[in-house]
Amino acid sequence: MLGETPLSNVSESVRTERISDVLQRMPLVFAVNVVNAAASAWVLARAEPWPGPAAWFAVIALISLARLALWREDRRRRLPPVPRAAMVTLTTLATGLAWGLGAALLWPDKPVYRVFVVFVVGGMCAGSVTTNAMHFPTLACFVLAACLPVAGRFFAEGTRPDLMMGGMILIFAAALLSTGRQFSRGYGERAMLRWRLDEANQRLRQEIDDHKATSASLRESQKLEAIGRLTAGIAHDFNNLLMSIGGNIDLLQARLNRPETTRRLEAMRGAVERGSQLTRQLLAFGRRQRLTPQVVDLNGTLADTVRLLASVLGNRVAVVLQSDAGLWPVFVDPGQVEHAIFNLALNARDAMPDGGTITIGAVNRPEVPRAITADLTPGAYVEVSVADTGAGMAEDVLTRAVEPFYTTKEPGQGSGLGLSQVYGIARQSGGTLLIESEPGRGTIVRLFLPRAREMADAESPG
């Protein structure tokens, strides 16, 4: 399940979003700055000789172009958060200084032009609230850099009207910053709330998905449990019939000594043996076979099994063993585990008619996948996996893979009891089985077997 994101991470994400919001408005900011600077330079040229107004316009235009380039760079390569924030704030500060210092240095003598300059700078500051308030440091840099030089120039004049104008500019700047601060705080609170809601929705979706997976696993386990009980009951009764038939065959063989009769009785004996093997497989699926569990070192068991498989599977199939050196011991019936792995390897070989690789692995699992927790009691397990590079299974085949007598092989090539028997061995040993497969990507079967210590504690008297 997803954990809650730390507050520091959410705050960093919100800061990044603030800068992104400011950057998105860069084309509009570029247009406003260049147009207003051009108009202001044209008006001031009537009161001030060139090149002063022209130089002022050039500085603002160059800084605006740099900010537009920053916007394009960000759209193309997504600059890391810290350089983005620093560059946005610094270029905004430079723009504010260009407006404020330019107005102070080009200070017109005529009052009408001074009012025009104050009006333009004030309008740029007011507009900055709409474009920069999402990131308050950027807004503060622009407003203070633009207003303080103009206010300082009024204070330097020293007359009462000039002092009053300077004070009004400072009040205007304070009002803009206060409004911008409130806007920024509201923006941040909404962004934080949105992040929290998104996070809650993501956790909820994850919990729903986990619940669906667990429910599906539980339903499948209950279905197989019901099939297993039915199968075990039928197999038990069928085995009793076979024992009766076998006993009578023994009596007939003892009394009749004719070759033809003996041959027929031997054929009947073979059929009984095949039936007995079938009942053993069914009892294994139904978890009714007799097991003799003991502490087993899987590293040795797997090494012996791989050596045997290498000689059985043929040259077209490579067998690779990958197991942890510190593999935990397990509490299982060693003969049944060997039989299960052997069965899985034969299935894997059949899935690779043109040859391939079978990888047998074993790892310690302090925790098991959530999808199979419904099948297991809490504790530590060892995962034994058998992976092939074959054709894989479609979803409809995968969901029925462990059902008894279900097979995709041609008639006479398989009974459909191999995986059923392996599943039964795993469940009766206190573990379970998980199959992962996709068409064209092979299959991996994972056996989860209980760690010896866990089972030993459970078996020991209280």
CATH code of the domain in which 340 resides: 3.30.565.10
Considering the domain architecture, whether residues 173 and 247 belong to the same structural domain is answered as no
- Tens-digit pLDDT profile for the chain (462 aa)? 444 545 456 677 777 778 888 888 889 999 999 999 999 888 888 876 668 888 999 999 999 999 888 888 888 776 665 677 888 889 999 999 999 999 998 888 888 888 888 999 999 999 888 888 888 888 899 999 999 999 999 999 888 988 999 999 999 999 999 988 888 888 777 777 777 777 778 888 877 777 666 665 556 555 556 555 555 555 555 566 566 666 666 666 666 666 666 666 676 666 666 566 555 555 544 445 566 788 888 888 888 888 888 777 878 888 888 888 788 999 888 877 887 888 888 888 888 888 889 999 999 988 877 767 666 778 889 999 999 988 888 887 777 777 766 666 554 454 456 677 778 778 878 888 888 888 888 899 888 888 987 444 554 444
In the DSSP assignment, the letter for residue 459 is H
Considering the domain architecture, whether residues 67 and 164 belong to the same structural domain is answered as yes
Residue 435, beta-bridge partner list: 445
The structural domain count of the chain equals 3
- The two beta strands, 432-437 and 330-332, are unpaired
Instruction: Give the ranges where 133-159 is alpha helix by DSSP (H).
Output: 136-157
Give the residue carrying structure tokens 């034994």: 384
Choose the final residue of a domain: 250, 267, 285. Answer: 285
Query: Coil, helix or strand for 50?
Result: coil
Considering the domain architecture, whether residues 195 and 239 belong to the same structural domain is answered as no
Considering the domain architecture, whether residues 245 and 301 belong to the same structural domain is answered as no
For residue 1, being part of any structural domain is answered with: no
For residue 2, being part of any structural domain is answered with: no
Question: Could you tell me how far CA 314 lies from the centroid of its own chain?
Answer: 40
Distance CA 97, CA 407 (A): 79
Considering the domain architecture, whether residues 237 and 110 belong to the same structural domain is answered as no
Distance CA 352, CA 358 (A): 9
Choose the final residue of a domain: 147, 169, 203. Answer: 203
pLDDT of res. 459:
47
For residue 89, being part of any structural domain is answered with: yes
Q: Which helix (H) or strand (E) holds 65?
A: helix 52-77
In the DSSP assignment, the letter for residue 135 is S
Residue type, 56: W
Distance CA 96, CA 147 (A): 8
For residue 212, being part of any structural domain is answered with: no
CA-nearest of 13, 167, 33 to 102 is 33
pTM passes above 0.75: no
Check if the beta carbon of residue 426 is closer than 8 Å to that of residue 447: yes
Considering the domain architecture, whether residues 400 and 302 belong to the same structural domain is answered as yes
CA dihedral 334, 339, 345, 347 (to 10 degrees): -150
Which long-range contacts (C-beta less than 8 Å, at least 24 apart) are formed by 306-311? 306/360, 308/342, 309/342, 309/345, 309/358
pLDDT of res. 303:
86
Considering the domain architecture, whether residues 450 and 337 belong to the same structural domain is answered as yes
- The two beta strands, 356-365 and 381-387, are antiparallel
Distance CA 324, CA 341 (A): 17
For residue 208, being part of any structural domain is answered with: no
Distance CA 100, CA 118 (A): 10
Query: Coil, helix or strand for 441?
Result: coil
Give the residue carrying structure tokens 């039928």: 234
Check if the beta carbon of residue 404 is closer than 8 Å to that of residue 415: no
Give the residue carrying structure tokens 């300059």: 117
Considering the domain architecture, whether residues 274 and 377 belong to the same structural domain is answered as no
Considering the domain architecture, whether residues 333 and 247 belong to the same structural domain is answered as no
Rounded to 5, what percent of the chain is helix, strand, coil? 70, 10, 20
pLDDT of res. 351:
84
Q: What range defines the domain where residue 351 resides?
A: 294-459
Which two tokens mark 172?
């205007």
For residue 311, being part of any structural domain is answered with: yes
Check if the beta carbon of residue 387 is closer than 8 Å to that of residue 359: yes
The backbone torsions φ and ψ at residue 118, rounded to the nearest 5 degrees and listed phi first, read: -65, -40
Considering the domain architecture, whether residues 416 and 395 belong to the same structural domain is answered as yes
Choose the final residue of a domain: 258, 285, 312. Answer: 285
pLDDT of res. 145:
93
Distance CA 263, CA 257 (A): 10
Check if the beta carbon of residue 325 is closer than 8 Å to that of residue 302: no
Considering the domain architecture, whether residues 54 and 99 belong to the same structural domain is answered as yes
Considering the domain architecture, whether residues 169 and 24 belong to the same structural domain is answered as yes
For residue 73, being part of any structural domain is answered with: yes
Largest CA distance in the chain: 141
CA-nearest of 370, 367, 357, 337 to 443 is 357
Q: What is the secondary structure of 268-336 as a DSSP string? A: HHHHHHHHHHHHHHHHHHTT-S----EEE-HHHHHHHHHHHHHHHS-TTEEEEEEE-TTPPPEEE-HHH
For residue 213, being part of any structural domain is answered with: no
pLDDT of res. 2:
44
